[in-house]
Amino acid sequence: MRVVLLDNRDSFVYNLVDQFASLGAGIEVYRNTVACATVLAALEPTAAEAADGLRPALCLSPGPGHPRAAGCLMELVTTAVERSIPTLGICLGFQALVEACGGRVDRVGPVHGRSVRVEVSPAGRADPAFEVLAGGPLDVARYHSLGTRELPEALTSLASTADGVVMAARHRSAPVVGLQFHPESVLTPQGPGVLRSLTADLTRAASAPSAPSGPTTLPTTSPGGAR
């Protein structure tokens, strides 16, 4: 599988590149300063991929600041949902997914470089992302000050902290998953397994027939939240 990774200027980006490569994925990296159209063009299947019935997947990396101030990120995640592009959003990428679907991220208190045990929901226990847990606990690395305790209707919570900050969610109709935590960090012991499960999940989605590329109406949201 080929993964197109949007680099939101974060030091963890090449940890992700290395982990995807270790799972056999081909990686192309684009900074969020490029036009959204450039990344979308990279997400078009090559002739060989099309012959095999495959599509590339998109990964939206962690990064600093608010998702609405992250270059082409918001336009890209909105288009990914509209076109049912197989997508994984991590940290800032997860926050962009929340905002694109009509939710809001705001300050939840700075949590940087801490490992926290999270509660996996019943939906999360049944989700391919967390099949590696086999019913066990999930300790994750948190590096963020923005987050959400309330998801928009389009998203289903897969995991949250004891005080209600959502740590993972899946879109109800598009092949899009978001993680607020960092699976690529050494502070997430099950991270490689979670990323392996998600890569397999994205591969299955990338092998499925592509949805029509016409627009799907998403909730209109106004810029806001902490920066």
CA angle 156, 160, 165 (to 5 degrees): 100
Alpha carbons 3 and 95: distance in angstroms, whole number: 20
> Burial level of 134, CB count in 10 A (0-12/13-18/19+)?
exposed
Tell me if residue 72 is catalytic: no
Tell me if residue 182 is catalytic: yes
Catalytic residue chosen out of the listed positions 66, 144, 171, 182: 182
Residue with tokens 């982990």: 19
> Burial level of 153, CB count in 10 A (0-12/13-18/19+)?
exposed
Catalytic residue chosen out of the listed positions 91, 99, 101, 171: 91
DSSP state of 69: G
Catalytic residue chosen out of the listed positions 66, 82, 99, 184: 184
Residues labelled as active-site residues: 91, 182, 184
